[in-house]
Structure 1
Amino acid sequence: MHIEIQRKAEISLSKQIYQCIIDHIRSGLLQEGEQLPSVRELSKQLGVSLVTVVKAYNKLEKENFVESIQGRGTFVTTEMQGKVDTEQDMLSFNWQLSVQDYLPRSQFSQFHYVPEKIHLSSSMIDPGLLPNRYLEREINQMISENPKLLSQYGPIQGDEQLRFAMYEYLKGLEVPTKPENILVTSGSQQGIDLVARTFVGPGDVVVMEAPTYPGAIDVFRGRGATILTVPVDNDGMRVDILQNLCDKYKPKVIYTIPTFHNPTGAVMTLKRRKQILNIAQSIQSIIIEDDPYSEIYFDKKPPVSIKSLDEYGHVIYLKGLSKTLAPGCRIGILAASGSIFKRLLAAKSNIDLGSPLLTQKVIVPFIKSRKMKDHTKKLRTALKVRRDLVLSILSENAPSEISWIIPKGGLNLWITLPSWIDSNHLLVKVKKQELTFLPGSACYAVEHENHHLRLSYSYMNEQLLHRGITILCEILQSEISLKKEHNHPPYF
């Protein structure tokens, strides 16, 4: 079990240990029944006092994440992890616990492929809304006409036709770049990883929004970065707090999702976009602008990208096509300039020597044609209907103690619960009704806030959405009524 201690952080060492172990449990890296290192072992491994480790373990035990058994040790007991191995299997593989890993957390491993019937935990689009038949025909035709595609490596930078097509597509989004400054990636997640591998090392300061996209937290934590967080309000990242942090710590990277922020749905104002760019320029920082679905707006177009305002190459722009076009193709692009781009290209060559050529070729005709615009327009209409359905059901059935942010685009709805309800424990209850969501704690890099949850309304059809949101409201009503009756919260 890898625990990264940041001695210069403002959070105490015992709390860092406590949070890291919780991250391992919620990521499935520590399963129910697994034994934690002894207090003495962990103290020696981390170079901290016995008292520090004891304090962390006591807090974990008090909150029922672990159980200490006299003479045997401390074991994971949280009900949030299912038993995936038999007792005999656990004994057979116990030797593996001695192999050191360097994974601080992997939150999405628990929510991408789940057995629940009503899947509201991942930002994915209903396959029925995607151009699957068209892409199927393109694949068959392409292989038929050019079977050598299957035996060819593509260029490391990405297929030239696709880069030109994406250059034109981005021009329509008012994102200025050039084909030679575009790098094709295996989804936006690889784009984040490329930047982290290239520019972030142990102790480097990375500023992120709080809350933010869990996959980005996982990547930067894995690089040993010191993560500082800035709250998000209805207008995006709080620039006043960002300025104070930048004055004090001079971060190397600022990661932001300015348009239909994941998970809150907030849209950063144009004024704040300009302010963040000015801050980055003044301290020579890199901005990662993650733009997964700015095309999916419901009312009016969002402000222009931060990349469009950038004159000196501070912004690395990421655009994924997995969300809106073809998840199975795993195609995204990274746009940057200058030596930053050259170094990212070198990193890409070290990782995989280039993304699969066939999937790049398949989507080129679609992106270049009118079909892409028509498809995006239909997506906006269909997802707005689903968003409105969810908002309507919540308005009619949710307890008055529950609040939410109305998203103006994107795929997600951010819900805030009473502070005494832990969404991780709530998840255990709703799973019994074949329903799942993303607990808000997965979206926080530093201080865990447990009384939020993210619902993705984009994957389920309207019938299942109606059922799922109704079930959630009923469970919340029950828990709040129970609390009022007994005058104490059911979750601690």
Structure 2
Amino acid sequence: MAPGDRLPSSRELTEEHRVGPATVSRAIAMLAAEGLVVARPGSGTFVAPRRRASGNEAADTSWQAVALAGRDYDPANAVEAAQPLPAQGITMSGGYLHQSLQPTRALSAALTRAARRPDAWHRAPAAGLESLREIFARQTGPDLTPQDVLITGGGQSGLSLLFRAIVAPGSPVLMESPTYPGALTAARAAGLRPVPVPMDDEGVRLDLLADAFAMTGARLLYCQPTFHNPTGTVLSAERRARIGDVAHAAGAFVIEDDFARHLGHGRPAPPPLVGGDRHGTVVHLTSLTKPASPSLRIGAIIARGPVMRRLRSMRYVDDFFVARPLQEAAVELLSTSAWDRHLQALSTSLFERCAVLADSLARELPEWQLARLPAGGLHLWIRLPPGSDDSIAADAARAHGVTVNAGHRFFPAEPPAAHLRLSFAAAANPAELAEGARLLRSSRDGT
């Protein structure tokens, strides 16, 4: 039919094709959604004008390279995250729970109850619902109040906000080495210069941290004191007691990324740094996405003093507030016994999966060095034999049907050796983890 031609009536189409009126209506609606027909009430449905062909030449967007110059951007994380998973493959990369570990039923029930609230779609306060802020304050420390809490759209959103709020573009930011790649990307996107501070078995080295503050004049440290990503390290009690004082002596803030508090493997996590902070030095960041679901984009920043006022002001610049239905659902979820039961079951499952993967790697790849058997978190941190290339190892694993994370992405500067990060939470079950270890051996052998 030509543009402008009138389609047969619904009755004619029904009779011609021997289908019901509802089928005809759905078909016309689909055509209209695709822009192929135009419905004119009272006149009928007509073929839409043809779109002009643009030819075979691709649009020239090369001018954007000049326009975007001068802004530091590290695409490495986005590029690796965007790669498609192998068909029927085993996922041992990423930082989220497999759907079988997520509290799907409890989440659905919480969202349903939240949607029934008469004010569910009203505008939320910029700082977040007070009931949700109260929960985060109570979980984090006895002296914290809802006024110390700002609700964010997940942990990554909170990181981006903090890096932009606390220090100016061009400033250094101290980071454990290795560290979370998303933090490196967020810091660089904010115009900051990541400076590595080495770690050992007790966490970040405070002697080198003090030196780094003195040498760089940095006013910010980003760290993960509990079940560190990627190494699984827990900052020792002695260093937990001193790290705030080291930063305070330098006139600096500490961002405590507490993403893994609910990801312990049976033992309780040590108290957050912010709970013992006397000077407003520590800014605490937590999130529900890791222990619940990647789509529960709810996090919280806990801070005291002028920095909180600045953060709340920046909220108006960024997005005004986090969607209220999601906040209401988070309140419903965290207020039920189902959440506690989920955390207990998750702890047991993570402990089992961690042990299965560690044992399987020791059997299949004894030359791979496990940094430690973590007491919490979602990952194992593996040091490859001397002379290995982690990018080549990751590519070979993908070719054999297993996704892993290349270790160089986790270092603010040059890595000291080749590493891989292996997730034991993203696979469907422990049996997949054992099979994944076997496939990793095959990828090493090229078989």
TM tier relative to shorter chain: 0.7 to 0.9
TM-score after normalising by structure 2: 0.82
**CA separation in 1, counterparts of 2:57 and 2:147?**
52
Deviations 1:180-233 (A, max 9, x none): 110000111111111111122233121100000001101111222232111121
Q: Residue 404 of structure 2 aligns with which residue?
A: 437
Q: Residue 40 of structure 1 aligns with which residue?
A: none
Q: Residue 9 of structure 1 aligns with which residue?
A: none
Give matches, 1:123-162, under 5 Å: 123-146=95-118, 149-150=120-121, 152-162=122-132
User: Residues 266 and 347 of structure 2 are in contact (CA less than 8 Å); yes or no, is this contact kept in structure 1?
Assistant: no
**CA separation in 2, counterparts of 1:393 and 1:123?**
20
Give the residue type in structure 1 aligned to 2:68. Answer: Q
User: Residues 85 and 403 of structure 2 are in contact (CA less than 8 Å); yes or no, is this contact kept in structure 1?
Assistant: no
- Alignment counterpart, residue 169 of structure 1, candidates 135, 139, 143: 139
Establish whether residue 421 from structure 1 lines up as the match of residue 396 from structure 2.
no
- Alignment counterpart, residue 433 of structure 2, candidates 465, 477, 481: 465
**CA separation in 2, counterparts of 1:167 and 1:305?**
12
User: Residues 184 and 332 of structure 1 are in contact (CA less than 8 Å); yes or no, is this contact kept in structure 2?
Assistant: yes
**CA separation in 2, counterparts of 1:326 and 1:346?**
28
Q: Residue 361 of structure 1 aligns with which residue?
A: 328
In the TM superposition, what is the alpha-carbon distance from 1:363 to its structure 2 partner? Answer: 1.6
Deviations 1:290-349 (A, max 9, x none): 001123222532332211220110000001110002321200000000111111111112
In the TM superposition, what is the alpha-carbon distance from 1:475 to its structure 2 partner? Answer: 2.4
Q: Which runs of 5+ in 1 are unaligned?
A: 1-87, 483-492
Give the residue type in structure 2 aligned to 1:122. Answer: G
Give matches, 1:262-281, under 5 Å: 262-281=229-248
In the TM superposition, what is the alpha-carbon distance from 1:458 to its structure 2 partner? Answer: 0.7
In the TM superposition, what is the alpha-carbon distance from 1:149 to its structure 2 partner? Answer: 2.8
In the TM superposition, what is the alpha-carbon distance from 1:449 to its structure 2 partner? Answer: 4.7
User: Residues 114 and 329 of structure 2 are in contact (CA less than 8 Å); yes or no, is this contact kept in structure 1?
Assistant: yes
- Alignment counterpart, residue 165 of structure 2, candidates 160, 178, 198: 198
Larger Rg over CA atoms = 2
**CA separation in 1, counterparts of 2:335 and 2:132?**
9
Q: Residue 299 of structure 2 aligns with which residue?
A: 332
Deviations 1:394-428 (A, max 9, x none): 11111325443211111111000023111111121
In the TM superposition, what is the alpha-carbon distance from 1:94 to its structure 2 partner? Answer: 3.9
Is the partner of 2:218 in helix, strand or coil? Answer: coil
Q: Residue 279 of structure 2 aligns with which residue?
A: 312
Q: Residue 21 of structure 2 aligns with which residue?
A: none
Q: Residue 311 of structure 2 aligns with which residue?
A: 344
Give the residue type in structure 2 aligned to 1:156. Answer: A
User: Residues 260 and 410 of structure 1 are in contact (CA less than 8 Å); yes or no, is this contact kept in structure 2?
Assistant: yes
Is the partner of 2:173 in helix, strand or coil? Answer: strand
User: Residues 186 and 331 of structure 1 are in contact (CA less than 8 Å); yes or no, is this contact kept in structure 2?
Assistant: yes
Give the residue type in structure 2 aligned to 1:475. Answer: S
Give the residue type in structure 2 aligned to 1:109. Answer: A
Of all paired residues, the percent bearing the same amino acid is 28
Give matches, 1:79-94, under 5 Å: 92-94=60-62
In the TM superposition, what is the alpha-carbon distance from 1:93 to its structure 2 partner? Answer: 4.2
Q: Which runs of 5+ in 2 are unaligned?
A: 1-55
Is the partner of 1:389 in helix, strand or coil? Answer: helix
**CA separation in 2, counterparts of 1:203 and 1:232?**
25
Moved more, 104-113 or 466-475: 104-113
Establish whether residue 303 from structure 1 lines up as the match of residue 304 from structure 2.
no
Q: Once superposed, what is the RMSD of the aligned Cα atoms?
A: 2.1
Give the residue type in structure 1 aligned to 2:145. Answer: K
Query: How many residue pairs end up in the alignment?
Result: 387
Deviations 1:341-362 (A, max 9, x none): 1111111121000111111101
Distance 1:103 1:348, change over 3 A: same
Establish whether residue 109 from structure 1 lines up as the match of residue 78 from structure 2.
yes
User: Residues 415 and 452 of structure 1 are in contact (CA less than 8 Å); yes or no, is this contact kept in structure 2?
Assistant: yes
- Alignment counterpart, residue 406 of structure 1, candidates 373, 390, 405: 373
Establish whether residue 118 from structure 1 lines up as the match of residue 85 from structure 2.
no
TM-score after normalising by structure 1: 0.74
Establish whether residue 261 from structure 1 lines up as the match of residue 231 from structure 2.
no
**CA separation in 2, counterparts of 1:166 and 1:264?**
26
**CA separation in 2, counterparts of 1:428 and 1:437?**
9
Give the residue type in structure 2 aligned to 1:149. Answer: A
Is the partner of 1:258 in helix, strand or coil? Answer: coil
Is the partner of 1:308 in helix, strand or coil? Answer: helix
Deviations 1:36-73 (A, max 9, x none): xxxxxxxxxxxxxxxxxxxxxxxxxxxxxxxxxxxxxx
